[in-house]
Amino acid sequence: MAHVERGPIADIDDAAQTDEQRRSRGPWARAALELLRRPKAVFGIAVIVLLYGGGVLAPVLAPYGFDDQDLLAAREGPSADHLLGTDFVGRDVLSRVIYSLRTNLIVTATAVATGSLALGITLGLMAGYFGKRVDTAVMRMGEVFLAFPGLLLVILLAATVRPRVLEWVRGLEDATGIYGLAQWGVADYLVVFGALAVFSWVGVARLVRGQVIQLKAMPFVEASKTTGATAPRLILKHLLPNALPPVIVVVTMGMGAIAGAEVVLSWLGIGIQHPVPSLGSMIREGQDVSILRNQPHLILPPVIVVGLLVFAWNLLGDALNDVLNPRAR
Amino acid sequence: MPTFVLRRLLWLPVLLVIVSFVTFVLGHYGPGDPAEVRLGERATPEAVALVREQLGLDRPFFVQYGSYLADAARGDLGDSFAFRGRTVSELVFPKIWVSVQLGLAAMLIAVSLGIPLGLIAAYQQGRWLDTALVSLTLFFLSTPVFISAPFLILFLAVQLGLLPVSGWDGLFSASIVMPALVMGLPGVAGVVRLTRASAIDVLGQDYVRTARAKGLTEATVQVRHVLRNALTPLITVLGLSLATLVEGAFITETIFGIPGIGRLAVESIFSRDYPVIMALVLIVASAFVVANMVVDVLYGFVDPRTRQEMGAYGAR
């Protein structure tokens, strides 16, 4: 990581630190420290850890199962038994919110890991490093994806491909003998994460490409090329680490949008389906003027949780932007 | 300059063909055999074969795509599955105007509130007003439409009774206020942030210092040198906000019961009315492609520096 010093994060200078301290830590550690000194970053991280942590620990934390119905206690307000009340078939709202966060985490994490990170970075590196035909092919492909307003493409994909995927999952059940895949929403997860991944790579790929093209012209890259560095070494040791800071900012800023897109898809009824809980379907069920007036406890919890989650990601992205300070786009 | 515009314009039909192709393949073959989708799961093989022939599904793939394109160019987008006996065009076209009105109202709110607030934030950079504006806009940017809508309904309509809960009476009526606000607020936030960033950037430029140094009045400096340059990036907002407006329209129109293409899209998704979904995607995506092209070309006119940088890849 010796050359990382020349990356954009090397510009960070903090008068509070002595020269010695500054030299003793790597640039990433310094950026992390700098980040933790900002209230908005700390708030963002705290909210994200709290909400998604709750989602991960859902089976332990949730007082009830997400589909446990108690018809005798339907539509009740908050009480000691049900801290946030119950919905129209007597399911515990708090438990459903917690399990919905797990759903959201699974979809968001897989979509970002495969789409933004794996696809976006790989294609961006290839386009930037190899240039010429590869570059043209990747960038034109990206432009086609950008031709569709993002969410519309996701909706089109999710709405049309869903029956096919469901069929495929049923076939998989027969072939493997593992039943319950379709019932437990495997098809939904596949459709939603696939649709989100397909459209989220473009921005990252463009950014990485731009960074790589700039970095390729830098003396340190030329120098290591002259000393006989192989292409994989150049890409992994020199180009990738230096291209990463702005990518981290953009991916973080996009996390809120992807988490929100899952909610919108489920709200539209083409995302996560019953009985697997999602914040989107919870909002849809509670969205009625009479419910809004008489049982606000049905809609407020999912609405506030979604708002907090997206806000926290945006705050963190904003703080990261201040710290890593990529050249303004 | 002419080559730049020409290159962008030549790319336009190519993009439109690709958009229509993707829509056709996904809408036609995505859900399964179109004849079976239309007839349902219990159809006899004979009935399926008959419908296949009627729909021309036994023809080669590219012939089908070609006739789809030719029909679409003439405004014939097929028949709706859900509304028997009605063509997609009958359903879609009257609703476009409704959505355009709503979108214009939202955009008006975004620009008329966003630019002044963004400039204020820029001049107050680092002071409390700036910090407050920036955090507030981040908050609005993070508030999805289906969150702000119920809250607004709850307060303005249900509790205070100031505005109708839902409905549509055209551009100049009380019923447009809430939906336009709901769709416009994230736009306000976007415009504020962009205006602020670009005004701060411009205020630090050498040419502003030069303008002051050569003795121009502060008013001239502000209007001719700062404002003009600070507001150019806002052109991109025109293109980008179209996407945001379309996304907002799905939810806003459904919640407020507005008969536009957003609500039609949601209803079509629920009733698996694929021809309508395809038509809407095709129309919106085409509008989006054209809008982006216009933005790129405009940008090339306004800011000559971008022409070379962008090459063929656009401003975004």
Q: Say whether residue A289 is in contact with chain B using an 8 A CB cutoff.
A: yes
Q: B120: buried, middle or exposed (CB in 10 Å: 19+, 13-18, 0-12)? A: middle
List of residues 6+ apart from A280 with CB closer than 8 A: A262, A263, A264, A265, A266, A267, A268, A271, A272
**Which stretch of DSSP H or E encloses residue B65?**
helix B61-73
Please state whether the peptide bond connecting residue A296 to the residue before it is cis, i.e. omega within 30 degrees of 0.
no
Which of A144, A156, A262, A295 should be substituted to probe chain B, the one whose Cβ sees the most B Cβ atoms within 10 Å? A156
How many Å apart are CA A258 and CA A151, to the nearest integer? 10
Q: Is the predicted pLDDT of residue A7 greater than 50, yes or no?
A: no
On whether the CB atoms of residues A124 and A191 are closer than 8 A, the answer is no
pLDDT beyond 60 at A175: yes
pLDDT band at A240 (very low <50, low <70, confident <90, very high): confident
* Residues from chain A contacting residue B154 (CB–CB below 8 Å): 292-293, 296
Nearest in space to B196 (alpha carbons), one of B98, B128, B114 = B114
Using a CB–CB cutoff of 8 Å, tell me whether A167 touches chain B.
yes
Q: Is B277 on the interface with A (CB under 8 A)?
A: yes
Residue B310's pLDDT is what?
Answer: 45
Residue A92 is classified by DSSP as B
CB B175 within 8 A of CB B169: yes
Under DSSP, the state recorded for A328 is P
* Token output for A9: 């994060």
Best residue in B14, B137, B147 for a mutation probing chain A (most A CBs within 10 Å): B147
A143 neighbourhood in chain B, CB within 8 Å: 15, 313-314
Contacts of residue B90, defined as CB under 8 A and 6 or more positions apart, other chains included, come to none
The residues in A 240-259 lying below 8 A from B, measured between CB atoms, are: 256
CB B242 to CB A149 under 8 A?
yes
Distance from CA of A98 to the nearest CA of B (A): 18
Q: Which two tokens stand for residue A64?
A: 């009830």
User: Residue A321 above 60 pLDDT?
Assistant: yes
What's the CA gap between A264 and B170, in Å, rounded?
Answer: 27
Does the distance separating the beta carbons of B255 and A152 come in below 8 Å? no
pLDDT in tens, B87-100: 888 888 888 888 88
Whether A327 has a pLDDT exceeding 50, the answer reads no
CB atoms within 10 A of CB A100: 29
User: Is B247 an interface residue toward A (CB < 8 Å)?
Assistant: yes
Put simply, the chain A residues between 27 and 46 with a CB less than 8 A from any chain B CB are none
Which of A143, A207, A314, A315 is the best mutation test for B, with the most CBs of B within 10 A? A143
Q: What is the pTM of this model?
A: 0.78
Least confident of A43-52, B21-30, B293-302: B293-302
Mutate to test the interface with A, among B134, B146, B178 (most CBs of A within 10 A): B146
Please check whether residue A263 touches B, CB under 8 A: yes
Alpha-carbon distance of A122 to A117, in angstroms, equals 8
Q: pLDDT tens digits for B187-207? A: 888 888 888 888 888 887 888
Name the minimum distance, in Å, from the CA of A2 to any CA of chain B.
31
pLDDT higher than 70, residue A24: no
A138/A122 Cα distance (integer angstroms): 11
Note whether B139 contacts A149, CB cutoff 8 Å. no
Neighboring chain B residues of A137 at a CB cutoff of 8 Å? none
Average pLDDT, chain A: 78
For residue range B251-295, list pLDDT tens digits in order. Answer: 888 888 888 888 888 888 777 787 888 888 888 888 888 887 787
Grouping H, G, I as helix, E, B as strand and the rest as coil, residue B18 is helix
Instruction: State the pLDDT at residue B309.
Output: 47
pLDDT tens, A63-99?
A: 777 777 777 766 777 776 777 777 777 678 888 888 8
Residue with tokens 């001049």: B123
User: Would you call B243 an interface residue with chain A, using a CB distance cutoff of 8 Å?
Assistant: yes
User: Distances in Å between the alpha carbon of B106 and those of B94, B103, B141?
Assistant: 20, 5, 14
Residues 133-152 of A with CB under 8 A from B: 139, 143-144, 146-152
Which pLDDT band, with edges at 50, 70 and 90, does A153 fall under?
confident
3-state secondary structure (DSSP) of residue A183? coil
Closest in B26, B144, B284 to A157, CB measured: B26
Of A144, A163, A289, the CB nearest to B15: A144
